[in-house]
Amino acid sequence: MVRRARKVNRVLAETYPDARCELDFDDPFQLLVVTVLSAQTTDRRVNAVRPTLFAAYPDPVAMAGAPREVLEQIIGPLGFFRAKTDALLKLSRALVERYDGQCPVASTTRVTLPGVGRKTANVVLGNAFDVPGITVDTHFGRLVRRFGWTEETDPVKVEHAIGALFPKRDWTMLSHHVIWHGRRRCHAKKPACGACPLAKLCPSFGEGPTDPIEAEKLVKTQGPA
């Protein structure tokens, strides 16, 4: 299991050499905010509103004092804008009140912030602070079950099960590799099995079209719009 899992990761690394966090950010606070905003929408939509959002409110102090109606207007295109506005205001105020406007490094501390769960905490840890973390989003969970690495569905249990298969130093990039593969080839409803570099390694080969020409039509060159 361990050897096969690590082989899969090596193949994915070769397939997606540019794999990275697809949310744009300039500092830990920005990454924390855009990760919260990415729920129920796409990274590209979040990236589109990011410049306007942080030009107006570049730090927790500024965002904590933002008029609700202005924030709602800026992030309106992302959907669920009232709930997300509430989350940003509470998050920013908590950072100001508890951490002097700084983004905490410790995962156990960060998950106590409003709107921040383990997934968000691990995204920020791995990509803003270089602290290894596994990001269990819907793509990651789906693929590790297809790979046969775990049968768990609870994100925390998935995180622990997969963490046991890989060196800690690999956790962040492993997350990127798997998520990129899920967004580009191993789709939820119709995976591009016939155009997959893992065809010989994946126990779920055949869930999608195995004909190379048909499968190639399903391959995306970038994450979803």
Residue reference for tokens 């990129």: 180
Going by C-alpha positions, the residue among 184, 152, 139 that lies closest to residue 15 is 184
Residue reference for tokens 């569905």: 153
Are 49 and 77 a contacting pair, CB within 8 Å? Answer: yes
For helices 171-184 and 138-146, the axis angle rounded to 10 degrees is: 90
CA 171 to each of CA 71, 95, 128, 131, 176: distance values in angstroms, whole numbers, following the listed order = 34, 27, 14, 9, 9
Residues annotated as catalytic (active site), given as ranges = 119, 137
CA 71 to each of CA 5, 26, 81, 89: distance values in angstroms, whole numbers, following the listed order = 43, 20, 8, 9
Going by C-alpha positions, the residue among 45, 33, 126 that lies closest to residue 87 is 33
CA–CA separation, 14 and 9 (whole Å): 9
How distant is the alpha carbon of residue 191 from its chain centre?
Answer: 20
- The tokens describing 216, both together, are 């190639």
- The tokens describing 172, both together, are 């962040």
